[in-house]
């Protein structure tokens, strides 16, 4: 019987091996008299231009077809295709050939001569007027082939002069005036993209002067290349430019249709318009307050048409968040050919919506959990485009490994749960009672007012209640720069139901008392963020600065009693906290990005406070910080809590952290990363029970923790699942000459893995 099973197993393995060998023959399904196309490369002859790397990338993007897709260098989808046969219906062959597999890309589908002409024209468009590109097919074996495109750029032409040839008309004078600030710079290489950009720039300037019907196509740029390797450029208006494009226009009527629908186009336009300020509004059902819509319109009757006012109006109406579609339409006014009527058709979202969200979490301290969040929204509360939200959420967290210990005492039950309720209204303007003002930007300024209650219960330890009120202004200054200012931010923390087990922790570690301290936080905060990542640049940045303060005015108004100032019998926190987050994203290649982050935070407690409030302190470690250390177990300083591994809640007044990560696109939705993290937290003042935790300029460098690791990311666009495997390289709590632990790394040792290897599972990128 044993021999029979061994024979069957051997037969199965042999068959699978033979099947794989058969599939790995990538040319199995290549027809006779054809070859498998394995890709193309660019070869440069003669002197390479300085920017040949950028030019090569541009040329490679224009080469067609693309070879078969690969994962880790292997054409797996082609192998799957070769495993199957032509399907006769649904089944395994259908899946292999139609769903999972990819047919071979054949040499016959490539057009080397045509592609060479395309690449040559690309070089011509970049100033190499005498460029030459030739193609050569490279046969590999009997059934494979690649193509080499050899580029000979020759001399590159540069701009010698730029002349604007215009007439004496008002339009001609406007075009001539636009020459100042031209993007076509002398001695720079000629590029067609620069010429196109210059036409667009002149067009934008003319649009700001009322030339509504003028387009970039009405401008012509002639190139004279007969000047010893230099070019003379002549920008002029085409003779066939129509009369409408040569005329300036002023606005007459501006009409809004806030209940427009394509399904009921004619009905949506009916009704007598009501005029509010300078805007006509057709809203027979009175769903919107006229003042809300008028605030977003920056075109005015009898004023000159400008592109900036047009775009700002469209952007503001869209940014209200109430309308799904916004369409603008401009037409000449009847009886006055020098004026325009503007109509804006606004299709609203459904007024009310209800959404539910289910989350799952897994933490490096062996806790897992889930949370349910339900949100009810009203997008047009009080008919003023206000967003009114009521959010209810609740979650449970439990320990799946290890034991929860504190001071050598095992605590039974590691479960915790939380409940939160919040009501918030977001008003699409700067709201305050004294006066109204409307900033002229494409982005709607907002005022957000929120009130919330949160209950956090940790089994066998304590219950914590938090009541919060916040009044916040949010405004975007530019596409990249955003401000958030909360002049009023009040939080009241009230602990209840502390257990004897937690009391024993407090006796041995008084700093844990800060986690459940009864107190008020009376203050505000200001945040400024710059982020240009959306532009897909080679170098992009994320910069964030945050100022948080509490107890400043209250400390002046409320007198001190018994060495402390209190409000309703509870002390209030007094501190100033500064935080900075700087990130640099460098695209090394199309598939390789190097990201660096520097995070620094510094808190100054004073008056009533000896440390920052627990909710305002800094924590380190975990899936988005130092990934080789469990969350909240590192620091402060060289201190190490040896009695509480999974209950650790270490926090500090100062934080310094550096992260470096190289991200690589593999294939499809799979990405990989290698990373290095370094940093720590410190306390502002000495705590006797935590020796070495105070920040000192002379010693903080020697207390930096370091880790490294690798990661796999599954990027499905709407969600990114991240798995990071990390381990420590430097442990600051060890003796000074033993802190680097690189020599101790031993992946084959299960005890080392259990103690040092940490798998972080998270949603989204760490930074």
**Distance, CA of 470 to CA of 490 (rounded, Å):** 6
Sequence-ordered list of residues with C-beta below 8 angstroms from that of 248, at least 6 positions apart, any chain: 170, 209, 210, 211, 304, 305, 338
Q: What is the pLDDT of residues 343-401, one digit of tens each?
A: 999 999 999 999 998 877 666 556 677 889 999 999 999 999 999 999 999 988 776 65
Encode 152-207 in three state secondary structure.
Answer: ECCCCCEEEEEEEECCCCHHHHHHHHCCCCCCCCCCCECCHHHHHHHHHHHHHHHH
Q: For residue 677, what are the contacts with CB-CB under 8 A and spacing of at least 6?
A: 625, 626, 627, 628, 657, 658, 659, 660, 706, 707, 708, 726
How many C-beta atoms lie closer than 10 Å to residue 71's C-beta? 12
What gap in Å lies between CA 167 and CA 732, rounded to an integer? 75
Specify the 3-state DSSP secondary structure of 537: coil
Superfamily of domain 158-246: membrane protein fhac (3.10.20.310)
pLDDT at position 306: 96
277 contact partners, CB below 8 Å, separation of at least 6: 294
- Residues with Cβ < 8 Å from 105, sequence gap 6 or more? 36, 37, 65, 66, 67, 68
86 to 18, 32, 245, 297, 763: CA distances (angstroms): 20, 17, 59, 61, 40
Phi, then psi, of 282 in degrees rounded to 5: -100, 95
Assign 487 a pLDDT band (cuts: 50, 70, 90).
very high
Distance from the first to the final alpha carbon of the chain = 58
Highest mean pLDDT out of 7-16, 413-422, 697-706: 697-706
Enumerate the CATH 3.10.20.310 domain ranges in the chain, comma separated: 158-246, 250-348
Q: Sheet with 323-333: list strands edge to edge.
A: 274-276, 279-281, 250-257, 336-348, 323-333
CA distance 700 to 389: 45
Asked if 36 contacts 105 with a C-beta cutoff of 8 angstroms, the reply is yes
Stretch(es) of the chain classified as CATH 2.40.160.50: 531-767
Question: Confidence class of residue 506 from pLDDT cuts 50, 70 and 90?
Answer: low
Computed over every residue of the chain, the mean pLDDT equals 87
Q: What are the structure tokens assigned to 19, written together?
A: 């099947």
- pLDDT at position 565 is 77
Instruction: Give all strands of the β-sheet with 144-152 in edge-to-edge order.
Output: 36-44, 144-152, 132-140
Tally DSSP H helices, then E strands, for the chain.
13, 31
pLDDT (tens digit per residue) in 416-451: 888 999 999 999 999 877 666 677 888 999 999 999
User: Token digits for 474?
Assistant: 């949010």
Q: How much is the pLDDT for 417?
A: 86
Q: What angle do CA 713, 719, 723 make, to 5 degrees?
A: 25
CATH for 531-767?
2.40.160.50
- pLDDT bin (cut points 50, 70, 90) of residue 52 is confident
615 Rama class: left (phi>0) / alpha (psi -120 to 50) / beta = alpha
Residues 197-250: tens digit of each pLDDT: 999 999 999 999 999 999 999 999 999 998 888 999 999 999 999 999 999 999
- The neighbour count for residue 88, using CB atoms within 10 Å, is 8
Helices marked H in 439-573: 500-508, 552-557
pLDDT digits (tens, 9 = 90+) for 395-405: 887 766 555 55
Q: What is the pLDDT of residues 638-696, one digit of tens each?
A: 998 776 554 567 889 999 999 999 999 887 789 999 999 999 999 988 888 889 999 99
Share of the chain above pLDDT 70, in %: 89
Task: Tell me if the bond preceding 65 is cis, omega within 30° of 0.
Answer: yes
CA neighbours closer than 13 Å in the CB half-sphere of residue 38: 15
Chain segment 181-195, per-residue pLDDT in tens: 898 999 999 999 999
Tell me, what's the pLDDT at 7? 41
- pLDDT reported for residue 598: 98
Q: What is the pLDDT of residue 514?
A: 61
Structure tokens at 751: 């005890």
The residue count of the chain comes to 767
SS3 52: helix
For the residues of 576-614, what is the DSSP string, one character each? Answer: EEEEEEEEEEEEEETTEEEEEEEEEEEEEE-TT-SS--G
Binning pLDDT at 50, 70 and 90, where does residue 500 land? Answer: confident
What average pLDDT does this structure show over 97-111? Answer: 92
pLDDT tens sequence across 152-162:
999 999 999 99
Q: Is pLDDT at 136 greater than 90 in this prediction?
A: yes
Give CATH for domain 250-348. 3.10.20.310
Most confident of 255-264, 410-419, 658-667: 658-667
Q: Please determine, for residue 745, whether its predicted confidence score (pLDDT) is greater than 60.
A: yes
Please, which residues bridge with residue 468 across strands?
452, 491
CB within 8 Å of 610: residues ≥ 6 apart: 685
Other CB atoms within 10 Å distance of the CB of residue 544: 16
């Amino acid at each position: 019987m044993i021999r029979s099973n061994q024979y069957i197993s051997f037969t199965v393995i042999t068959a699978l091996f033979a099947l794989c060998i058969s599939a790995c023959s990538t040319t199995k399904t290549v027809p006779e008299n054809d070859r498998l196309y394995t890709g193309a490369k660019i070869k440069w002859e003669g002197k390479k231009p300085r920017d040949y790397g950028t030019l090569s990338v541009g040329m490679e993007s224009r080469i067609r077809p693309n070879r078969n897709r690969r994962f880790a260098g292997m054409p797996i989808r082609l192998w799957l295709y070769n495993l199957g046969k032509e399907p006769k219906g649904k089944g395994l062959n259908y899946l292999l050939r139609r769903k999972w597999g990819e047919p071979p890309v054949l040499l016959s589908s490539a057009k080397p001569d045509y592609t060479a002409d395309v690449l040559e024209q690309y070089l011509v468009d970049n100033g190499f007027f005498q460029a030459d590109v030739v193609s050569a097919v490279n046969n590999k074996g009997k059934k494979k082939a690649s193509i080499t495109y050899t580029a000979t750029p020759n001399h590159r032409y540069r701009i010698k002069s730029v002349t604007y040839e215009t007439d004496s008309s008002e339009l001609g004078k406007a075009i001539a005036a636009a020459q100042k600030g031209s993007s076509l710079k002398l001695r720079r290489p000629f590029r067609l993209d620069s010429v196109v950009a210059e036409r667009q720039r002149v067009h934008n300037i003319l649009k700001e002067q009322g030339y509504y019907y003028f387009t970039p196509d009405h401008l012509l740029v002639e190139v004279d290349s007969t000047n010893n390797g230099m070019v003379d450029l002549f920008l002029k208006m085409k003779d066939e430019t129509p009369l409408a494009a040569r005329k300036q226009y002023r606005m007459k009527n501006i009409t809004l249709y806030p209940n427009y629908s394509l399904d009921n186009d004619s009905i949506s336009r009916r009704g007598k318009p009501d005029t509010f300020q300078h805007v006509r509004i057709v809203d027979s059902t009175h769903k919107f307050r006229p003042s809300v819509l008028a605030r977003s319109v920056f075109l005015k009757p009898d004023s000159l048409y400008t592109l900036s006012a047009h775009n700002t109006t469209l952007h503001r109406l869209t940014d209200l968040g109430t309308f799904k579609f916004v369409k603008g339409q401009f037409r000449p006014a009847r009886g006055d050919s020098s004026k325009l009527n503007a109509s804006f058709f606004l299709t609203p979202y459904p007024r009310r919506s209800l959404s539910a969200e289910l989350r799952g979490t897994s933490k490096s301290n062996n806790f897992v959990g889930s949370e349910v969040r339900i949100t009810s929204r009203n997008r047009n509360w009080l008919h003023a485009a206000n967003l009114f939200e009521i959010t209810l959420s609740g979650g449970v967290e439990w320990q799946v490994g290890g034991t929860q210990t504190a001071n050598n005492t095992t605590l039974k039950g590691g479960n915790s749960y939380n409940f939160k309720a919040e009501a918030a209204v977001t008003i699409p303007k700067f709201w305050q009672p004294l006066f109204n003002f409307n900033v002229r930007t494409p982005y709607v300024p907002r005022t957000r007012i929120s009130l919330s209650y949160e209950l956090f219960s940790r089994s066998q330890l304590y219950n914590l209640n938090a009541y919060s009120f916040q009044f916040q202004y949010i405004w975007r200054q530019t596409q990249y720069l955003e401000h958030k200012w909360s002049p009023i931010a009040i939080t009241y923390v009230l602990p209840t139901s502390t257990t004897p087990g937690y009391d024993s922790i407090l006796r041995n570690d008084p700093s844990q008392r800060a986690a459940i301290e009864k107190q008020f936080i009376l203050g505000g905060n200001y945040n400024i963020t710059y982020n240009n990542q959306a532009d897909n640049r080679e170098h992009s940045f994320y910069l964030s600065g945050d100022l948080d303060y509490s107890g400043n005015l209250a400390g002046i108004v409320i007198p001190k009693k018994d060495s402390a100032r209190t409000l309703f019998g509870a002390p209030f926190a007094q501190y100033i906290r500064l935080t900075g987050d700087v990130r640099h994203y460098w695209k090394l290649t199309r598939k390789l990005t190097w990201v660096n982050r520097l995070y620094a935070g510094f808190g100054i407690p004073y008056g009533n406070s000896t440390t920052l409030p627990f909710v305002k302190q800094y924590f380190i470690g975990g899936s988005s910080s130092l990934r080789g250390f469990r969350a909240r177990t590192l620091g402060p300083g060289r201190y190490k809590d040896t009695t509480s591994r999974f209950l650790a809640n270490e926090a500090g007044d100062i934080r310094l952290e550096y992260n470096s990560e190289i991200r690589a696109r593999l294939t499809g939705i799979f990405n990989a990363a290698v990373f290095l993290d370094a940093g720590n937290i410190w306390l502002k003042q000495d705590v006797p029970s935590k020796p070495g935790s105070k920040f000192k300029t002379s010693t903080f460098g020697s207390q930096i923790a370091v880790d490294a690791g690798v990661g796999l990311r599954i990027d499905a666009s709407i969600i990114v699942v991240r798995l990071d495997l990390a381990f420590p390289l430097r442990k600051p709590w060890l003796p000074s000459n033993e802190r680097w632990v690189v020599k101790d790394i031993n992946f084959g040792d299960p005890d080392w893995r259990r103690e040092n290897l940490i798998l972080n599972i998270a949603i989204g990128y760490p930074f």
